[in-house]
C-alpha cells in the first residue's frame, strides 16, 4: 500500500508541475529563512549558558548606569562579605605587541588569575586555572595564535608588550557560542596593570569590571543587610556622595542595554522580531500549501470519489494526502539544505556567528522540523479532501472547492497581513536608520580623525607635539581631549550648599575643542590660551537646566570654579541615549587622545604626514587613527545589520506570498472559466471581466491592510522607543506597504484573468 501511495504522490507531483513548483520553492524559501533565523535566535538566547556557574555569578555595579567599578572594590567586598566564594576583575587594554621584531596592533584583556575558576572556558593547550599565576604570563586565543605564530606551538613563546617580555602559558579555545565577556586575542594577569600605572588604591576611578561568585544556592538578598552596611561604611571612608554598589545577576546582563560597561550585548527586541519574522514567513509558505491544496479539491474530486467507491476509507485517503504533503516538504527540505549551505557563510559573517550548523542534533532538529511542517501544512487539506461524498462527486456535484472558499479567504487575508507588516516594518526600520545616520548631532564630525596620543607625550612634550601636527599643510586645527565624543565619557559630581548631589558627564580637553567640533556657544566665551587652566568650565544647556540656573555665568561649582560659557546641546553619545548634562574641563593632563580637523584635500598624504609626526614621539605603539563619522557609524552597526536582513526577509516573504497568490489565482480563474465564457457571450468586455474578478481579491487585501496597520504600528513603535531620538511613524509608510500589496494582487490576478477572458467563449463553453 505504501508503495502504491508513493507512486501516486510522485505522479501527482510530476503531473501538476506548476502546483508542485510553487509549493516546493515556497516551502524551501520559508524553511531556509526559518532555519537561518533560528541559528541566530538560539545563539542569542543561549548566550553565556555554557558557564557552569552562571546562576552563581554576579557583576558588581554602581549607580544605575555603570557596570564598572574601581579596582579596590573587589577586595573590600570580599573582606566585608566573607560569604563571597570568589572574584575577578576585567579590563580591556588595546595595545601593540612585538614578536620576532614585528609590531602588531591587537586587543588584550587583563583578568585576575581566578577568572577561569569562575567562568567556563576550554583550553587547547595548557591549564587555564593556573596559566595566569605569574604576572609575566599570557593566554593567547586559538585563532590569533595561528595568525601570529602559524604552526608553531604557542606555549612557551615570548612576546613583548610595553617593552616587557611575557610568556604564553596556555591557548584558549575559540568559542562557538555567544558570550558577553570580552575574551580578546591575548589575556594577561590583572595585577600587572599596577606596573602599567593603574591606580589600585583609588576608590573613585571606576573603569574596571568586577565579578563575584556566591556559594551554591545563595541569593544576593541573603547578603543585602551586609551589603547595605558596606555601602554605608564606604560613604564614611571615602565620601558621603560615594556611590552605592549592588550585585547584578550575570545571566541577565547580555540583554541589558544602556549602561556603560565592557560587555558585549544582544538586543532582546531584535531577537523577538526576528523570531516573529521567521514564524510568519514559514506560516506564509504553509498557507500557500493549504490554499492551493483546497483550491485543487475539485480537480481531485473524481479521483477521491472513485477511490471511495472501490473501498478506500477515510483513513486511507488522509494517510495518502498527508504522505503527499510530507513528500513535498521533504523535497523542499532537501532544496533548503542546499540554500542554507550557500547562504550560511554570508549570514554568519553578517551577524558574526561562530555556531557550527553541521551536527547530529541539528540534523535531527531539521528532520523533525520538516516532518512537522509537512504534517501541519497537510493536515487540513488531507481531512478536507478525504471528506468528499462519493455519490455527489460522481454526479458531478463538485462543490467541495467552493465550500473551502471562506477558509481560503481567511488564510489569504492573514498571508497578506503578514506581508504588509513585514514591508511596513522594513520601511520604518530604513527610515530610522536614515534618521540616525543623517540627524544633525549639533557638532561637526566630518573630516576629523582621532587617535591615541603618544605614550611618552607628557605635559612638557604635548605643546611641541601639537605644534608639529598643526604645521602639516592639510591640517586645519587640533584638540587634545580625554576621548572623542561617543566613546567613554567621565562622570563627575557636585554637591550644592543644600547637600543636593548633581551628576554630569565631563570631557577634559583644551581651548581648541570648541573650534575643532564647531560647537556654538549660547552665552559666555571659550577658554583663552594665554590664561591658566583654571578659568572655569563650559557646560551645555542640559547642565544649566539640571541646576535650574537663570544666569549661569554668575554661578560657581566646587567652591570657586566659575561657569565660563554655555554651549548648545550636542549629541556626544549614540542616539540610544538622551542628551545628558555635560561639562568641558580645561585640563589636558587628563587627555589621552587628539582629534584633528582636516581640510579634505589629499587625505591619504595628510594622514601619512600625521603618522610620521606621531612616530617621532612614539616608539612602543603603532599609529592607529579613525574618522569620527565612521566611529559614530559603528554605534548603529547592529541596527544597520538588522535593517538589511529584515529587508531581505521581507522581500523573501513577498516572493513566497506572490508564488502562492499566483498559483491560487490560476486555479480559481480556471474554476470560473465557464462564468467568464457566459459573461463574454452576454456582452461583457475583457476589462469588465477583469474588474469584476479582480475586486474579489483586492477587497480581501484591503481587509488585510486594516488588520496589519495597527499591529505593525504597535510592534515598530516599541522598537523605536529604545532610541532616545527616533523618527516618527506616519500614514505614508502604511499606505506604501498597502498599495504595494494591492498592486501585487492586481498584477497576479489580472495576468490569469486576462488570459481566460481573452479566450474564445465558444471554446471555453465547449471545454466546460
- DSSP-derived letter for residue 442 is S
Last residue of a domain, one of 171, 188, 223: 223
User: Region 732-738: what's the mean pLDDT?
Assistant: 90
Instruction: Say whether pLDDT at 658 is over 80.
Output: no
Q: How high does pLDDT run on average in the chain?
A: 82
Last residue of a domain, one of 198, 223, 248: 223
- 536 belongs to a structural domain: yes
The reply to whether 618 and 765 lie within a common domain is: no
Last residue of a domain, one of 631, 661, 688: 631
Instruction: Say whether pLDDT at 397 is over 50.
Output: no
- DSSP-derived letter for residue 265 is -
> Are 477 and 597 spatial neighbours (Cβ–Cβ below 8 Å)?
yes
| pLDDT value at residue 404 | 55
Instruction: For residue 520, name the pLDDT band (cuts at 50, 70, 90).
Output: very high
> Are 280 and 421 spatial neighbours (Cβ–Cβ below 8 Å)?
yes
- 327 belongs to a structural domain: no
The reply to whether 665 and 725 lie within a common domain is: yes
Question: Could you list the residue range(s) of the whole structural domain that residue 566 is in?
Answer: 448-631
**348-357 long-range Cβ contacts below 8 angstroms, 24+ apart:** 350/641, 350/644, 350/645, 351/40, 351/641, 351/645, 353/39, 353/40, 353/43, 354/174, 354/175, 354/176, 354/177, 355/39, 355/42, 355/43, 355/176, 355/177, 356/176, 357/39
Closest CA to 188 of 210, 207, 204, 165: 165
Instruction: For residue 576, name the pLDDT band (cuts at 50, 70, 90).
Output: low
Instruction: Say whether pLDDT at 143 is over 80.
Output: yes
pLDDT-wise least confident of 176-185, 234-243, 681-690: 681-690
The reply to whether 486 and 464 lie within a common domain is: yes
How many structural domains does the chain have?
3
The reply to whether 452 and 596 lie within a common domain is: yes
* Residues 194-221: tens digit of each pLDDT: 988 888 888 877 788 999 999 998 888 8
- 204 belongs to a structural domain: yes
The reply to whether 66 and 170 lie within a common domain is: yes
Query: Percent of the chain, pLDDT > 90?
Result: 21
The span from the CA of 745 to the CA of 739, in Å, is 10
> Are 733 and 427 spatial neighbours (Cβ–Cβ below 8 Å)?
yes
Instruction: Say whether pLDDT at 541 is over 80.
Output: yes
The reply to whether 671 and 542 lie within a common domain is: no
The span from the CA of 224 to the CA of 210, in Å, is 18
Instruction: For residue 411, name the pLDDT band (cuts at 50, 70, 90).
Output: confident
Higher-scoring residue by pLDDT: 766, 383: 383
H-state helical runs in 471-537:
513-516
- The cell for 375 is 504534517
The kind and range of the H/E element at 95 are strand 95-99
Sign of CA dihedral 415, 416, 421, 427: positive
Higher-scoring residue by pLDDT: 389, 586: 586
> Are 457 and 620 spatial neighbours (Cβ–Cβ below 8 Å)?
no
pLDDT-wise least confident of 494-508, 535-549, 645-659: 645-659
Strand-strand pairing, 582-586 and 501-509: parallel
The span from the CA of 50 to the CA of 183, in Å, is 14
The reply to whether 525 and 515 lie within a common domain is: yes
Strand-strand pairing, 490-495 and 561-567: unpaired
Highest mean pLDDT among 11-20, 325-334, 625-634: 325-334
* Residues 311-329: tens digit of each pLDDT: 667 777 777 778 778 888 8
The kind and range of the H/E element at 166 are strand 164-172
The reply to whether 762 and 625 lie within a common domain is: no
- 157 belongs to a structural domain: yes
The reply to whether 171 and 187 lie within a common domain is: yes
User: Region 540-564: what's the mean pLDDT?
Assistant: 90
Instruction: For residue 247, name the pLDDT band (cuts at 50, 70, 90).
Output: very high
The reply to whether 636 and 500 lie within a common domain is: no
| pLDDT value at residue 51 | 93
| pLDDT value at residue 487 | 65
Closest CA to 259 of 600, 491, 3: 491
Instruction: Say whether pLDDT at 543 is over 90.
Output: yes
Closest CA to 34 of 326, 283, 233: 283
Instruction: Say whether pLDDT at 111 is over 90.
Output: yes
The span from the CA of 461 to the CA of 475, in Å, is 19
The reply to whether 532 and 472 lie within a common domain is: yes
The reply to whether 646 and 556 lie within a common domain is: no
Amino acid at each position: 500500500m505504501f508503495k502504491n501511495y508513493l507512486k501516486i504522490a510522485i505522479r501527482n507531483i510530476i503531473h501538476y508541475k506548476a502546483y508542485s513548483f510553487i509549493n516546493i520553492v515556497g516551502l524551501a524559501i520559508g524553511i531556509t529563512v526559518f532555519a537561518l533565523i533560528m541559528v541566530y535566535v538560539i545563539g542569542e538566547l543561549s548566550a553565556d549558558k555554557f558557564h557552569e556557574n552562571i546562576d552563581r555569578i554576579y557583576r558588581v555595579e554602581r549607580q544605575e548606569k555603570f557596570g564598572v567599578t574601581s579596582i579596590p572594590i573587589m577586595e573590600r567586598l570580599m573582606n566585608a562579605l566573607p560569604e563571597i566564594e570568589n572574584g575577578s576583575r576585567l579590563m580591556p587594554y588595546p595595545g601593540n605587541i612585538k614578536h620576532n621584531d614585528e609590531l602588531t596592533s591587537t586587543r588584550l584583556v587583563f583578568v585576575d588569575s581566578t577568572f577561569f575558576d569562575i567562568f567556563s572556558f576550554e583550553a587547547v593547550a595548557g591549564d587555564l586555572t593556573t596559566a595566569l599565576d605569574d604576572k609575566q604570563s599570557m593566554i593567547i586565543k586559538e585563532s590569533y595564535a595561528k595568525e601570529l605564530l602559524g604552526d608553531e606551538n604557542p606555549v612557551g613563546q615570548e612576546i613583548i608588550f610595553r617593552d616587557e617580555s611575557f610568556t604564553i602559558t596556555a591557548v584558549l579555545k575559540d568559542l562557538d557560542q555567544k558570550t558577553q565577556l570580552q575574551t580578546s586575542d591575548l589575556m594577561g594577569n590583572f595585577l600587572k596593570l599596577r606596573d602599567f600605572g593603574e591606580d589600585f588604591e583609588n576608590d573613585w576611578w571606576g573603569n574596571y569590571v568586577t565579578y563575584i561568585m556566591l556559594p551554591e544556592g545563595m541569593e544576593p538578598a541573603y547578603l543585602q543587610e551586609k551589603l547595605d552596611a558596606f555601602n554605608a561604611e564606604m560613604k564614611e571612608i571615602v565620601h558621603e556622595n560615594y556611590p552605592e554598589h549592588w550585585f547584578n545577576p550575570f545571566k541577565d546582563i547580555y540583554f541589558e542595554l544602556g549602561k556603560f560597561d565592557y560587555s558585549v550585548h544582544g538586543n532582546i527586541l531584535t531577537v523577538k522580531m526576528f523570531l516573529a519574522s521567521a514564524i510568519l514567513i514559514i506560516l506564509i509558505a504553509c498557507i500557500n500549501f493549504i490554499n492551493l491544496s483546497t483550491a485543487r479539491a475539485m480537480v481531485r474530486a473524481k479521483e477521491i470519489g472513485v477511490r471511495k467507491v472501490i473501498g478506500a476509507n477515510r483513513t486511507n485517503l488522509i494517510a495518502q494526502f498527508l504522505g503527499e504533503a510530507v513528500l513535498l516538504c521533504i523535497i523542499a527540505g532537501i532544496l533548503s539544505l542546499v540554500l542554507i549551505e550557500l547562504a550560511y557563510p554570508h549570514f554568519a559573517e553578517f551577524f558574526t556567528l561562530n555556531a557550527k550548523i553541521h551536527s547530529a542534533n541539528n540534523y535531527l532538529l531539521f528532520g523533525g522540523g520538516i516532518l512537522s511542517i509537512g504534517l501541519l501544512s497537510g493536515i487540513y487539506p488531507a481531512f478536507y479532501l478525504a471528506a468528499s461524498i462519493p455519490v455527489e462527486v460522481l454526479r458531478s456535484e463538485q462543490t467541495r472547492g467552493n465550500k473551502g472558499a471562506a477558509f481560503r479567504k481567511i488564510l489569504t487575508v492573514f498571508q497578506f497581513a503578514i506581508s504588509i507588516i513585514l514591508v511596513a516594518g522594513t520601511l520604518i526600520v530604513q527610515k530610522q536608520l536614515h534618521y540616525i545616520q543623517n540627524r544633525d548631532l549639533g557638532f561637526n564630525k566630518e573630516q576629523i580623525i582621532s587617535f591615541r596620543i603618544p605614550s611618552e607625550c607628557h605635559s612638557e612634550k604635548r605643546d611641541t607635539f601639537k605644534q608639529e601636527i598643526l604645521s602639516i599643510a592639510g591640517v586645519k586645527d587640533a584638540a587634545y581631549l580625554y576621548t572623542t565624543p561617543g566613546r567613554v565619557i567621565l562622570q563627575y559630581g557636585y554637591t550644592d550648599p543644600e547637600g543636593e548631589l548633581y551628576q554630569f558627564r565631563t570631557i577634559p580637553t583644551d581651548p581648541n575643542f570648541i573650534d575643532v567640533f564647531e560647537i556654538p556657544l549660547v552665552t559666555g566665551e571659550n577658554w583663552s590660551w594665554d590664561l591658566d587652566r583654571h578659568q572655569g568650565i563650559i557646560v551645555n544647556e542640559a547642565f544649566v537646566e539640571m541646576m535650574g540656573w537663570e544666569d549661569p555665568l554668575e554661578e560657581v561649582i566646587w567652591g570657586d570654579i566659575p561657569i565660563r560659557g554655555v554651549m548648545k546641546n550636542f549629541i556626544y553619545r549614540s542616539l540610544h541615549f538622551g542628551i545628558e548634562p555635560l561639562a568641558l574641563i580645561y585640563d589636558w593632563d587628563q587627555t589621552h587622545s587628539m582629534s584633528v580637523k582636516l581640510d579634505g584635500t589629499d587625505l591619504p598624504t595628510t594622514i601619512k604626514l600625521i603618522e610620521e609626526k606621531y612616530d617621532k614621539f612614539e616608539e612602543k605603539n603603532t599609529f592607529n587613527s579613525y574618522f569620527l563619522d565612521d566611529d559614530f557609524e559603528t554605534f548603529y552597526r547592529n541596527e544597520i545589520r538588522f535593517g538589511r536582513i529584515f529587508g531581505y526577509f521581507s522581500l523573501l516573504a513577498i516572493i513566497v506570498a506572490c508564488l502562492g497568490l499566483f498559483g491560487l489565482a490560476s486555479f480559481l480563474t480556471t474554476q470560473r472559466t465557464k462564468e467568464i465564457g457566459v459573461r463574454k457571450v452576454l456582452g461583457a468586455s475583457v476589462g469588465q471581466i477583469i474588474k469584476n474578478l479582480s475586486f474579489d481579491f483586492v477587497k480581501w487585501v484591503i481587509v488585510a491592510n486594516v488588520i496589519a496597520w495597527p499591529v505593525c504600528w504597535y510592534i515598530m513603535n516599541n522598537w523605536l522607543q529604545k532610541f532616545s531620538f527616533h523618527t516618527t511613524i506616519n500614514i505614508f509608510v502604511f499606505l506604501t506597504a498597502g498599495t504595494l500589496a494591492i498592486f501585487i494582487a492586481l498584477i497576479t490576478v489580472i495576468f490569469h484573468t486576462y488570459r481566460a477572458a481573452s479566450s474564445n467563449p465558444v471554446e471555453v463553453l465547449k471545454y466546460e
